Chains A and B, each alone.
Chain A
């Protein structure tokens, strides 16, 4: 049992399960999935589809945070990417032409990558603190998006473009399939190559990484480019879903949701160890929460308060300090985890993953010794 609770993904998954189950209180309708026109429909499917943009952004954000950085500009990039794509499509005589849509996507993604590169160069090249460097684009990016849309909401009617955000593929929402594909690709690249280890080394100890000859700058620029790319893809999904680009509101506060998703997923803001799977679950927690609150007919004005309360609970549950204090008495003497490190953690969820891994690894050691 303790081995289970110490798994690095235990608390995020438990939280997600609890949130989903809480919907049972209002009847089983929440879990109903039906097939209509060969597509799956239901609240759960909605959650998967609606979570797609945050999930994709969070994947990029995970890498940035693992290096000890942060990317605040992703929300603005969502707006810019969507605005560029919609602007291009809206100017073409035939919006349904495949070549038009592909060009629009290429423009949006290309610019997102360049803006990610800009962030990376500011951080790694100019040595500006990540929170400041990306704050620049977070603020300026909204303005750029407004310039692109001319302050208007650009509407498009392109059917192929609509597929990205609200289409279906093999009964599943296209956006979710896209997430799954990106996650699979990222996992393979990161864990099959040495990228994951090098990112964790740079995030864990930048000076030591320099002294072993890791090209930290290239690596840093790389993760910001990936983050920009992810934000660009998310921008396409968002604008395609509503078939319009709103420079002002598209992607608003996405950066905060993404950071939360990463933290809920067990990656510490101080950098080092990261978990892409944890991040996806974190993003699902946030989306489930949003959906749940909406379906409880809470007024939009107060929704953020509810969200904050639940996020606080998740973070508390993940904090080893908090867990040690609250759960100690339930476990009996000697059964509890060692006390939390005395150094004040910066992130609200300090190294839960590490602790559980230590426990798991040392447990195997002791078994071997006993044998």
Chain B
């Protein structure tokens, strides 16, 4: 083979937002028939770079060459016409339309001005069939899981005849099998000569499918590397710089060093609590100072279980005891009054109020508990906000910044701060480290350990078994909306054993 053809060459890309230099002099080269990882912490400029390439943001300086020709991409539509398709982190399809409609929206097969529905469904089924997916293409998209929706988004992007396919964290909501499926598609596209840009936070996945890596840090280019010639440690070191020691220290912390939990009386006890169609009745004790991990696949009922304990959904069976007394958790408010806090999985739709400032978002839970008539005194508010911005290392360290302008990791920290301010006795964290960078992830994990040492009970939900194992005193395993096993986290408990339980449904 000769030198592979370069399809996209971006040089010296600079982009300034009011007050923030998002990109300064960044290069990106994409070759035909490669999977190219774009790595960097949150706020490193990955998303901005992609948005420049797809024409969402015009670059302030720099040049984009497409197949050797300088181009000015003025919008996503033009980018698409030039063969650059994107699948964003958040699925941006129409959940109320059918799968087939979503794939062909805006370019429906037509005859005499009307849409050929049959043809459209046939072609949709065919496209999905190439991914070994057998879906009812006339069912509304919303009837499928988030993972399937993500794949439909990819199918849509691919079917627009892409020369360059950009996948912005496509795997963050997929389970292992689905990730494999996706990788299959990516490899097939690579074989077809497509340049695939893969943005992800999962290091392992980079080494699994990628050929080359471009690393960004703080809006600047760190470098471009062959995957085979870059060790994992080098990769992490280049992404986060000096904060590496923090992560290593945590990685290597032996489990036996965790404080032993004195089990006198559980803070929360659920007795056969369940809700039809959501989670089968389950019993679980969470003691003060204990981190309980909830493991299970996507859709196994992890979030649903947490929502019952928080009163976000109402249980229709069993009872919940808090501090030894039965309580009625009809609303989140009732749970909050009993010192329970819940940081939801979906930061944007269920967590943050994007229009409010960092400071306002942080005091929201405390203020809600006080009621509108008893505002937090301004001085005390500024104090707690300052304190937690510092303690959690939230950037920018500006209480007046709008929370929508923060990166994912910092938004997550704002959510955490919101609940820590209320000084809860049980903190429920639903995927607190999903989609955030390694540095922030280490900080949050460290925080969880510290909180438990101070006597807080923590219910920790994560799709990453390693993370669950690292932090938890006890791991509860869910499978198909049933709690199927509960393990004390000692030396004998391994990720394999949990996976076996998830696979077989019986404690191994």
Contact = CB atoms under 8 A, between A and B. Distances in A.
B57 interface: yes
B367 A365 contact: no
Contact of A212 (B19, B332, B349): B332
Given A193-B373, A194-B372, A358-B405, A208 B19 contact: no
Interface in A340-371: 342, 351, 354, 357-359, 361-366
Contacts of A338: 17-18, 57
A338 B402 CA distance: 16
B376 A204 contact: no
Contact of A194 (B20, B370, B401): B370
A272 B355 contact: yes
Interface stretch (A109-117, A133-141, A195-203): A195-203
A273 interface: yes
What is the size category of the interface that chain B forms with chain A?
Answer: 35 or more
A215 B367 contact: no
A334 interface: yes
Interface in A194-237: 194-195, 197-198, 200-201, 204-205, 207-215, 219
A258 B30 CA distance: 55
Interface string B353-373: 111100010001101111111
A194 B17 contact: no
Nearest to A196: B372
A200 B331 CA distance: 21
B364 A365 contact: no
A362 B17 contact: yes
A211 B344 contact: yes
Contacts of B342: 211
A195 B372 contact: yes
Interface string A261-299: 000000000001100000000000000000000000000
B236 to A, nearest CB: 27
Contact of B19 (A194, A213, A351, A365): A365
B205 to A, nearest CB: 29
A192 interface: yes
A357 B400 CA distance: 10
A166 to B, nearest CB: 37
Given A198-B368, A208-B350, A366-B19, A358 B375 contact: no
Interface in B97-115: none
Nearest to B312: A211
Interface residues on A, range: 35 or more
A359 B17 CA distance: 9
Contacts of A351: 355
A150 interface: no
Contacts of A194: 367, 370-376
A151 interface: no
A42 interface: no
Interface in B374-426: 374-376, 396, 398, 400-402, 405, 418
Given A197-B360, A211-B342, A213-B368, A359 B375 contact: no
Contacts of A219: 372
A205 B353 contact: yes
A209 B361 CA distance: 10
B299 interface: no
Nearest to A342: B56
A339 interface: yes
A208 B332 CA distance: 11
Contact of B368 (A200, A212, A354, A362): A212
Given A198-B368, A211-B312, A361 B401 contact: yes
Most chain B CB within a 10 A radius of its CB, from A207, A362, A366: A362
A171 to B, nearest CB: 37
Contact of A205 (B56, B57, B349, B370): B349
A222 B222 CA distance: 54
A338 B59 CA distance: 11
Given A205-B349, A365-B398, A200 B356 contact: yes
Contact of B354 (A204, A213, A359): A204
Contact of A197 (B20, B57, B367): B367
B18 A359 contact: yes
Minimum-distance CB pairs A-B, first 5: A362-B19, A366-B19, A213-B333, A204-B353, A272-B355
